[in-house]
Amino acid sequence: MREVEVSRFVRVTPAEVERALTPAAVVEYEGSFSVVDVADRADGSTVVTAGSRGLTLSLRFEEHEDGLYYTQEGDAGPFDAMETWVTVRPEDDGSRVTMRSAVSLGLPLSGVTDRLAAWKRRGELERALDALATDLG
């Protein structure tokens, strides 16, 4: 697995950021998939079913004290494995939002294929933070 991390300062409080970071919004912010369904589970997690161009995947979100954690669930999806941590910390007169993701395609030549997957994932995370910043003004 390869890890990537992006970070962005936004000039709103952590509470405002956390309200904007719903599981469905995170998927939409990333820009690769559209939300098809959102289901809350008894264990407190939320599963977002998302799709694009005939591909459907499920992402399981868990809320943590400092943000969100989510992972690709099941075998359907672009990755063999993907997990992402979104943290929000107070900074100056706003918040520092960091998205860190680990990805693997599970293919031969993983040094090359996982690097490519991480490059694509970094773009999704950067888009997500740009969209979040735009939404929060």
Query: Strands, DSSP E only, in 65-125?
Result: 67-73, 81-91, 94-104
78: nearest Cα among 101, 100, 106, 98 = 106
Residue 40 CA to residue 87 CA, distance in Å, equals: 21
More confident call, 74 vs 90? 90
Burial level of 82, CB count in 10 A (0-12/13-18/19+)? buried
pLDDT at 108: 83
Residue 100 CA to residue 111 CA, distance in Å, equals: 19
| Cβ contact 96:7 at 8 Å | yes
pLDDT tens digits, one per residue of 14-45: 999 999 999 999 999 999 999 999 999 999 99
pLDDT at 69: 97
How does the average pLDDT of the chain come out, rounded? Answer: 93
| Cβ contact 10:95 at 8 Å | yes
Helix (H, G, I), strand (E, B) or coil at 30: helix
Residue 29 CA to residue 50 CA, distance in Å, equals: 12
pTM, two decimals, is 0.92
Enumerate domains of the chain plus CATH numbers.
2-136 (3.30.530.20)
pLDDT tens digits, one per residue of 89-122: 999 999 999 999 999 988 888 788 889 999 999 9
